[in-house]
A and B are shown apart, each in its own frame.
Chain A
């Protein structure tokens, strides 16, 4: 059987084995998804732990967004593996010096934490439905109670303590999980484009902005679908958070790039050739211009104007969509860009993603569309809407 692989054209000198790019679109999608998890969880925590009461309309919704993204996170990794059936080898015999070996445990821990938190949040609703619903849904709700039907004030105050504790553990959990993804790239000394101590922090802040942007977009869409008005004070707090975290992200990215240029180590010439050439559209136009500066300007305008009207809604939602695009492009520019700069420091590769195939555009798009589909099912079982609230 002829083995199938895609090789990339190159200029200058690249090592012969480099022409087949090892990590492609699925490894772009993977940090993007974990970032959305961390970001959505941040919004939920801002309410749950830090008492941002304006965020109440989205707090539980953000938790479900985080959970749905997290459930899909292992999928791109499994699809990427040459032997997905051996994935558990990393858990059975984890090699302790490998950042990847930690992933399975970190992800498992985090999925359990998210599920526990979701259970505590929705427990009153689950108990209520378990007593009311008939047929299959009733059976599912009765299973979901885990045998606990106590919703007395005493039990609820106990639940609230648990929720608070879980949310607090979840903050380092979610952010650690994503900071670790940055470490996977930043700790490699083989690629100048990745090798940076700032990488975990950059990944983390861009994660927070992407998750916040996703919650904004999905919240507005859900309001439109449910035909209820968008709560503008809530939207405004999310827009302010987005603005603040974007400032940090841009600053960190700027500092990282500046120090890369300033250090000007071996391979600098080729990196600059890359930055001025192939990176022009994906980075300067899409990620930086349209995806970062434009939404930042729009949100700044609304903060300055201080209005609560339809323009705010449209402006913030459009900005959030652009931020989602920017962070996706950031992941692409880091993961693919890093591999387009040859390890020789003397050549550039040009990666063109295939449409079909296990690691093609279609597969990546399917993985990315799964969390919203999962969410649309989950919100029917566990409605997170505070206008019909029956949650902790």
Chain B
């Protein structure tokens, strides 16, 4: 079942890629046709217009020009239950170990008398030991006997940047930005050089040794294009993860961005992330 989904997903990503490629070829053809004389000029114009219009992925009932997806994280609500991390691994066939994550949760704890927060994630060896398995995640109760001055959790995921550094460095175009604002990877075209893994300042990408290509969060593209929420948003019991369409002013994400003083991670990179945070402090990057 999982394999089938995976295959379908790959086929879809491939179709999208071929769509782009088709657009590029049409562009080239139109350019050549431009020299062919006046009788073909009209046809060439039509072709050029077709090439300019964004290609649409062949997903029934879905038009990617109609959406502009964005994600919100309300860190004040997150309780660090890690259901999101487990749901993501199941939904997206992420390798079940402590070194490959499409999403993760960070814990920031400042003890009394200390200035800097102590930071760990579910992948920390202490937390893995507490859970007893690399397939299930929980935060160990390691600050039980300490005097905690301040503590909060921060969910992390791919920021689906407007100017993604990972897309910039990809030598083949296997990773690309979709019309609806999602950064995807064509796993059938990726050569596995891992330049994108290096370029991402957020550590959102990893190399999947099971198919020897790079992998990362897709905001559950297989779900959002069917009108569903990403798996992590779906399972979050406290509403710390928010997802929606910025083209719709009444959507939860538009309201979230409108009603809060949101911030993004590492704005100085110029990547212009599309995951908006509320309730984080200066330690978080």
Contacts and interface: CB of A to CB of B under 8 A. Distances in A.
Interface of A: 3-5, 7, 12-20, 22-23, 77, 80-84, 86-87, 89-90, 93-95, 97-101, 103, 184, 188-191, 266, 339, 343-346
Give the secondary structure class of A's interface.
Answer: loop
B172 A22 contact: no
A344 B95 contact: no
Given A16-B104, A190-B165, A190-B201, A98 B192 contact: no
Given A80-B193, A89-B174, A101-B172, A189 B269 contact: yes
11 contacts: A3-B95, A15-B121, A17-B206, A82-B190, A86-B191, A89-B171, A98-B171, A100-B171, A101-B171, A184-B195, A190-B201
Contacts of B199: 188, 190
Contacts of B131: none
Interface stretch (B6-14, B45-53, B208-216): B208-216
A89 B192 CA distance: 11
Nearest to A346: B119
Contacts of A3: 95, 208-210
B21 A87 contact: no
Contact of A16 (B192, B203, B207): B203
Contacts of A191: 198
Nearest to A9: B125
A374 to B, nearest CB: 25
Given A89-B174, A189-B201, A190-B201, A82 B207 contact: yes
Contacts of A23: 194, 198
B169 interface: yes
Nearest to B118: A13
B62 interface: no
Interface residues of B, number: 49
B65 interface: no
B123 A19 contact: yes
Contact of A20 (B119, B192, B206, B210): B206
A339 B210 CA distance: 22
B205 interface: yes
Sorted from nearest, which 8 A-B pairs have the closest CB atoms? A82-B192, A15-B203, A82-B212, A3-B209, A16-B123, A100-B171, A13-B119, A190-B201
B101 interface: yes
A22 B165 contact: no
A89 B123 contact: no
A94 B191 CA distance: 12
Contact of B169 (A77, A82, A98): A98
Interface string B246-285: 0000000000000000000000011000000000000001
A190 B101 CA distance: 19
Contacts of A15: 104, 121, 156, 202-203
A16 B171 contact: no
B76 interface: no
Given A87-B191, A188-B169, 12 more contacts: A5-B209, A12-B119, A13-B121, A22-B198, A77-B193, A83-B190, A90-B172, A93-B21, A189-B201, A190-B199, A190-B200, A343-B203
B171 A90 contact: yes
Interface centre among B165, B171, B209, B213 (most CB of A within 10 A): B171
A100 B169 contact: yes
Interface string B201-238: 11111111110111000000000000000000000000
